[in-house]
Structure 1
Amino acid sequence: NESAKPKVGFILADELGVECRSTDGGTSLKTPNIDKLAAQGMRFTRCFSNPFCSPSRASLLTGRYPFKNGLTTVLDTKEKEDLYLHPDQPSFARQLKQAGYATELAGKWHMSLEHKHNTINDLGFDQYQTWRIFDDNGEKTTRYWTPYLIRNGTVIADQVKERYGPDLDLEFHLNFIKTMAEKKQPFLAYYATCLPHFPWEPTPDSKEQGYRERVIGHKGDPKFFPDMVAYLDKQIGKMLQTLDDLGIADHTIVIFLADNGTDRALVNEWSGGRKIAGGKGTMTDRGTHVPLIVRWPGRIKEGSACTDLIDFSDLLPTLCEVTGSVLPKQEIHGRSFAPQLFGKSGNPREWVHIQHQTARQVRNSDYMLDNKNQLRRVVEIWEDAAKPDENRFPEKEAAARKSLQAVFDSLGK
């Protein structure tokens, strides 16, 4: 019965560490709609990504770690145009599509450089509108004001002049949701917004607008970061309101998370006045500890929290379980946390795996071991990273090293 399948609204923020979310202790930024989502659903206090964009997005989509899905580095230069997520990899979009879902992606793809390899349809998305990082000449493009957007394979040029990229993406996204709701068609609507990734520029709501110089490659001014987070939050509010207006909110699972930690140029405050610098690109919690919230009215307890370890590979099996879709035939690393969503204990993982390029790390609740055999204590996010091999608790450290090395051995290369 197609109408009985839950609809899925997936929101992926771009570079928003856990310290940015007030429901976890952040005090610098105001996010009333994200807070409302957490109050109406379950927040996961220990969700871990990879430290950079492309590997995180690929682990999320495939249910596999980078060494297995092949996307181990961020696609940020033209020299990487032949590195991409191959269509033979698993994909939660494909699994849901095979189960009768209409599928859509709006915002940022970044699992291939689309001027050379466009694999969005092949990986299971029926419709898409994305910012393309390079134009046909291999020149870098803009994502915010007058963005370079591709809609279902075609560059849209005239409609974007002096428009704000996230507005255009949200319009495409909400139109898809409205169309599918009218058709009573189950859908996966994936909003992978560019916000609040640099360049930090004024949003349409910023008081100061004169800064809109479209200099490609600049990082902008960090003073606009709070405006960009506020705009992301406002867009989430519009999305939730649309679900209410269409009468489908109770039948829609909404998932919010971010692809990696906050940029290192940004400092946010945590409760108690602690200042926390972003850690994007580092194998620390500041680079990889991200927010995750899931709402499903009437099914997930309001205002609940789960402290289990979650990593990005877990989203694929979880989505398959809650939508009644089959798992892919290929081996995946993820473990479903669907039971936890419904208040059961489930089968929580004891460790997460984090990777950038050849650097890999497995982390449990107390220790992290990297593939250079360095063991570090897990510290609070406001503390400086622990030094390797401190030898403070020899027996405990030896046991942690043994169990985490066994994880590496079981995963292989």
Structure 2
Amino acid sequence: MCSRSILLREASTTLVTLIVLAVSSLATASEHSTRRDATQPNIVFILADDLGWNDVGFHGSRQVKTPNIDKLAEEGLILNNYYAQPVCSPSRAALMTGRYPIRTGLQFAMIRNDQRVGVPLDMKLLPQHLSDLGYENHAVGKWHLGYFAEEYLPTFRGFKTFYGLYNAKGDFWSHWDGEKANLGLDWHLDIGKFNRTILVDEMGIYSTRAFSARATKLISEHDFESKPLFLYLPITAPHQAQRYDPVQVPRDAEKKATGTYHVQRRKYLGMLSEMDTLVGQVRASLESQGVLDNTIIIFSSDNGGTANGQFDNWGSNFPLRSVKAFLYEGGVRVTGLIWGKPIKNRAGQVSTEMMHISDWYPTLYSFAGGNVADLDDIDSYDMTNVLTGNNVTSPRTEFVINFDPAECSKGMRVGKYKYLLNPNDFFNKNFDDWYQAPGECPGANETMIPNTTPSQITCEPVPRTRKVDLRCFSEKSGLNECLYDIENDPCEYYNLIDDKKYLSVKENILERIKFWEMKQVQPLMPPSDASANPKFFNYTWNPWTKNTTLDLRIRKYAPHSKNCSFLSTSSTSEPF
């Protein structure tokens, strides 16, 4: 029989063994929990601001020098049938939610500095989904998705840090924004939810260079062994700055610009050069960390360019028609490409498959290892198979360009046909033409380099003859409506709206418009909130209320026509 002491000694030994095994198991589990899934790629999304179709070298411009972007295009996949929204905030909301702006309330226009507007808090944004998959997310640049209450800030919506501006634009040097009575500094570093700093000391640093420095710093300091990186880079170039100095660029960058006599266009080319340098520096930083081969890079514009002096800026969408804020191709067909290992077999190719900016939401979630079936109530499509495989047809066959009940405007593409009603922006009615960039001599225009890449769009000269009515107008209905065959008429010369052969096409698109109008919510277009004035916050732009409720009031607005009926509803959750 064993003595009591022997039994106790054996029990003690067994307990120690169990403790050692438990500690060892915990250590192993901890080691596994800090080790990333090697199949998850890092994701860098560079979103240019108001970049024109013809503002990159690979679309054939003689003036634009973008060697770093062109290299990504040459080695990656160019997206040539790729669309965004007509203006800033709606495109960003579509990217972050996977939904059309008609379903987030952001279909009217961009968010103004002093409006209680943002992406509804019950909508889960892309970085929040990526966080669930183990990603560490950082945003550098322009937010422009609401900040009236702190809950709408980027660091409350999935990003670990944010660096840049909350609003639509700002001075590229001083980082101030506003007009006279409401002028304030809009330059922030947010680390986590409650550590927010106004970067007064960075006044005088050019915005694009500051964004590049911050992005490369984040890359150099990131622990790629433990977590994949999602770096969202919505830069402000080449958006105009302030009215007193709309096109701002470092002098050395402006001096490099050639091919135009026009002073503002030359400055604009300098802005593009700075943007391209940022792209090159981000790529070099990824390569220096040894993670470039496991990184997906997306380059996109948020909408078409501001051309011919629109908003005092000098981009170029040529040969596409019109400019930012219009529903024509020049306002919504945008530059886009994807680069990285998953699309290596598509290197140097041009995709003509239909894609919308909202499609990045499920696509990036899929690339990151998520199950797209988990994403509820979205209007977008997972494009991974289209982007990675040859001869794969896009699941997208249509998209809502925009419906704006305040302006009585509608736009939708179904298949190769595009229907528009009142496509002109109300505030800039006279920008519905075709605008070539100013050339080397006064009176001359930029000439294109022919056959630069397969992505180049070419059209015959604008048919300014009596036989061709270039207006978006129907003699039968008396409405400003038009129908274009975009595959065969990408420059939108020939309006088919009154041609009997296309009556069924029009009727089909109108049926699809009715379907989507039933899903539309009230546009968020409230009056200004005087409480937002920067003078109350030491002349800085900051969240100004604890009230997180979106402002559903409708400010006074003159619609496109007297026939435009605009009725408000009480909730953004109900069809409008």
Alignment of 1:191-206 (within 5 A): 191-199=233-241, 200-203=247-250, 205-206=252-253
* Paired AA for residue 376 in structure 1: L
Correspondence for 1:216? none
Tell me the distance in 2 between the aligned counterparts of 1:257 and 1:35: 13
Pick aligned residue for 1:112 from 143, 146, 149: 146
| Shift in Å, 1:302 | 1.3
| Shift in Å, 1:254 | 0.5
Describe the SS at the equivalent of 2:304: coil
Matched, 1:376 2:483: yes
| Shift in Å, 1:292 | 1.0
Correspondence for 1:350? 397
Correspondence for 1:389? 497
Q: Does the CA-based 8 Å contact 1:82-1:117 persist in structure 2? A: no
Correspondence for 1:319? 364
| Shift in Å, 1:222 | 3.9
Matched, 1:88 2:133: no
Residues 211-235 of structure 1, C-alpha deviations (whole Å, 9 max, x = no match): xxxxxxxxx9443110001110111
Pick aligned residue for 1:404 from 509, 532, 537: 509
TM-score w.r.t. the length of structure 1 is 0.86
Residues 239-258 of structure 1, C-alpha deviations (whole Å, 9 max, x = no match): 11111111111100100000
Pick aligned residue for 1:243 from 286, 300, 308: 286
- Which deviates the most, 4-13 or 157-166? 157-166
Higher relative contact order (CA 8 A, sep 6+): 1
Q: Does the CA-based 8 Å contact 2:386-2:393 persist in structure 1? A: yes
Correspondence for 1:337? 383
Residues 84-138 of structure 1, C-alpha deviations (whole Å, 9 max, x = no match): 112211321111111100011100011114577643123211211121339xxxx
Matched, 1:189 2:231: yes
Q: Does the CA-based 8 Å contact 2:320-2:329 persist in structure 1? A: no
Tell me the distance in 1 between the aligned counterparts of 2:272 and 2:209: 14
Q: Does the CA-based 8 Å contact 2:254-2:270 persist in structure 1? A: no
Describe the SS at the equivalent of 2:93: helix
Correspondence for 1:121? 155
Distance 1:276 1:309, change over 3 A: closer
| Shift in Å, 1:382 | 7.8
Describe the SS at the equivalent of 1:100: coil
Matched, 1:7 2:51: no
Identical-residue share of aligned pairs (%)? 22
Tell me the distance in 2 between the aligned counterparts of 1:390 and 1:169: 50
Pick aligned residue for 1:42 from 61, 77, 80: 77
Q: Does the CA-based 8 Å contact 2:77-2:350 persist in structure 1? A: yes
Describe the SS at the equivalent of 2:54: helix
| Shift in Å, 1:323 | 1.0
Q: Does the CA-based 8 Å contact 1:52-1:73 persist in structure 2? A: no
Tell me the distance in 1 between the aligned counterparts of 2:510 and 2:105: 22
Correspondence for 1:137? none
Residues 315-368 of structure 1, C-alpha deviations (whole Å, 9 max, x = no match): 101111111124454300001111012124154312221126433311135321
Tell me the distance in 1 between the aligned counterparts of 2:60 and 2:395: 24
Tell me the distance in 1 between the aligned counterparts of 2:279 and 2:505: 40
Describe the SS at the equivalent of 2:80: strand
Q: Does the CA-based 8 Å contact 1:82-1:116 persist in structure 2? A: no
| Structure 2 unpaired stretches of 5+ | 1-35, 176-185, 242-246, 257-262, 423-478, 521-576
Describe the SS at the equivalent of 1:4: coil
Distance 1:159 1:283, change over 3 A: same
Describe the SS at the equivalent of 2:81: strand
Describe the SS at the equivalent of 2:419: strand
* Paired AA for residue 253 in structure 2: S
Pick aligned residue for 2:188 from 131, 144, 150: 150
Correspondence for 1:225? 268
Tell me the distance in 2 between the aligned counterparts of 1:188 and 1:53: 21
Tell me the distance in 2 between the aligned counterparts of 1:304 and 1:187: 27
Tell me the distance in 2 between the aligned counterparts of 1:127 and 1:116: 14
Q: Does the CA-based 8 Å contact 2:118-2:152 persist in structure 1? A: no
Describe the SS at the equivalent of 1:168: helix
Matched, 1:367 2:417: yes
- Computed over aligned residues only, the root mean square deviation of the Cα atoms, in angstroms, reads 2.8
Question: Which protein is richer in strand relative to its size?
Answer: 1
Pick aligned residue for 1:24 from 39, 59, 74: 59
Tell me the distance in 2 between the aligned counterparts of 1:44 and 1:303: 11
Correspondence for 2:325? 281
